Structure 1
């Protein structure tokens, strides 16, 4: 079988598995990534995400991550929400959870498909592979652009003319030298909707993100108390933020989610109820969800910020019950919320 014939079968198989788009590039297709990453780190824009700097050599170069790799197969899987996720921001007594975390953990779902596809490729060709889903030092978005899946928009996320921007990315590194796809070019034009909507002004410039001001970072990655100047801007977002994704005009071409596991299970939970969760109840409620990874303390801290932003005196009691919480960040958030109400 020719390399082109194998690639055609691979793409068809990937689509059958449920991926929305498949593309291929070389591991060294984006040499500029290392310099961009270094500038991001030097500016301190990664905040507390020290893991980004720990393996910077691998993260900055896919070729260095696995020198035996000759091709990178990039795959996009859609998780497009059915409605407008920003409508929940008006329900001040409830918490808003990012769309990607509404269902089952995408790491498990995407990796399962990648492994099946990878095994098929190994059976067809006898090659070696490595599979990655957001848990290894792989710069998925630049590689996805190099593979023609889409481009990194001004909000730094990947979007495509035939995908929108509600996608997860997976990668299969292989020792096969498969034909590559043409890289995608930028189609953002003069649009600045994603930059203008950001509640915390986390974009110092188009295509640049200061994670230290990003609500997704603050609610998920940031440990300890959040700067008081930012708390009031977080609204009722308790896990992640979808604003810059939701306003992208290219979403009118977004692919529908095909995986039933991405169907919402969390919804718009009541803040008063969430504030009462202890560690065991938190783990039970969010078993199998990406939310579980941040732990009860960080989650309840976020809930208390949302309570403080609610403007609803009826929620004051829920915050008062946590004034003496064993976690200092939770107790601090409770004091802040009580003071605001």
Structure 2
């Protein structure tokens, strides 16, 4: 720490050196009101089959419920702002659309490595207890980030930054240190009457501003949901095979986001930027694991990926994909087999032709 530099300034400087684009400080209990709203959301069943949210809800509702010794929270953001238009592949139904955040390296590993390095720096400057969290732990990163002033939760429930738009991966360090809090961000002041994110949702997943029904969200349906995708959402999914960027991509604040600020670990891999559905439908377990090694996509497994690609293939109305679809009609997994039959029907094949396939 430089002479005359405060601990907060030193932490900010080191965070920037480690690749974080945003850093802010707040009290550990600053997001407790969001915890009460989370309880209401869970009780209403808006989380769908994400049982893990309920299982640790008693920890998730408050940082101090998770770790009572926490005094301050350090909220950090790492940019993954895209250089290309996230919605461009909508005009190319033969290609699978993968959410921007998953086209590069696994953010969990990159962000956590940097958080641990920052934690070591903090302890070297001010001996203390601390814990680091990415989104695999029951910590409410977005409300804490808003309380720390690095951005605000938009009407789509995701964090928005003046400098980085909707494209920040978040991490949190809880510490026993008493750090000087930053002024919180005010969501109402920055979003105003704009509702582009709400209107852009293909499945009308938003009950109201700041309230989402996960069961209708394409990111939930293609990533978290493990069964058959409800028929009412299949056409709206289009060619999205992993996640959905629509509500993020249309945000006017993205015009200030600078792709040059993105961490290079998140640059899109060529094979994930615009994969062909016909190629993806040929994947077996080994090929899937090889293709998505080092990617957050790997965790959904090949079965869920094939299910998603079958829905997307049915939405192309491209009969040339029928041979790739037919390979899954008589497969052992009933969810995949049903999706394959649906996709063939969407391409105009009769029941007899589907059975013959």
Query: 1:275 matched to which residue of 2?
Result: 281
State the Cα deviation string for residues 224-283 of structure 1 (Å, max 9, x = none): 101011111100000000000000000011143432111111111110110010111100
Distance (whole Å) between structure 1 residues aligned to residue 82 and residue 142 of structure 2? 21
Distance (whole Å) between structure 1 residues aligned to residue 264 and residue 33 of structure 2? 37
Quote the offset at 1:31 in angstroms.
2.1
Q: Does the 8 Å CA contact 1:304/1:333 hold for their aligned counterparts?
A: yes
Query: 1:153 matched to which residue of 2?
Result: 154
Alignment equivalent of 2:304, drawn from 298, 302, 313: 298
1:314 aligns with 2:320: yes
Query: 1:6 matched to which residue of 2?
Result: 7
Alignment equivalent of 2:248, drawn from 231, 238, 245: 245
Secondary structure, counterpart of 1:204 in structure 2: strand
Q: TM-score scaled by structure 1?
A: 0.98
Stretches of 4+ moved more than 6 A in 1? 1-4
Q: Does the 8 Å CA contact 2:155/2:198 hold for their aligned counterparts?
A: yes
1:198 aligns with 2:204: no
Query: Which structure 2 residues correspond to residues 198-217 of structure 1 after superposition, within 5 A?
Result: 198-217=201-220
Distance (whole Å) between structure 2 residues aligned to residue 76 and residue 205 of structure 1? 26
Secondary structure, counterpart of 1:104 in structure 2: coil
Query: 1:225 matched to which residue of 2?
Result: 228
Query: 2:292 matched to which residue of 1?
Result: 286
Gaps (5+ residues) in structure 2? Answer: 348-357
Count of matched residue pairs: 341
RMSD of aligned C-alpha atoms?
Answer: 1.3
Query: 2:24 matched to which residue of 1?
Result: 23
Alignment equivalent of 1:262, drawn from 259, 266, 275: 266
Distance (whole Å) between structure 1 residues aligned to residue 262 and residue 242 of structure 2? 23
Secondary structure, counterpart of 1:85 in structure 2: coil
Distance (whole Å) between structure 2 residues aligned to residue 188 and residue 160 of structure 1? 11
Query: 2:112 matched to which residue of 1?
Result: 111
Query: 1:143 matched to which residue of 2?
Result: 144
Quote the offset at 1:126 in angstroms.
1.0
Distance (whole Å) between structure 2 residues aligned to residue 254 and residue 65 of structure 1? 33
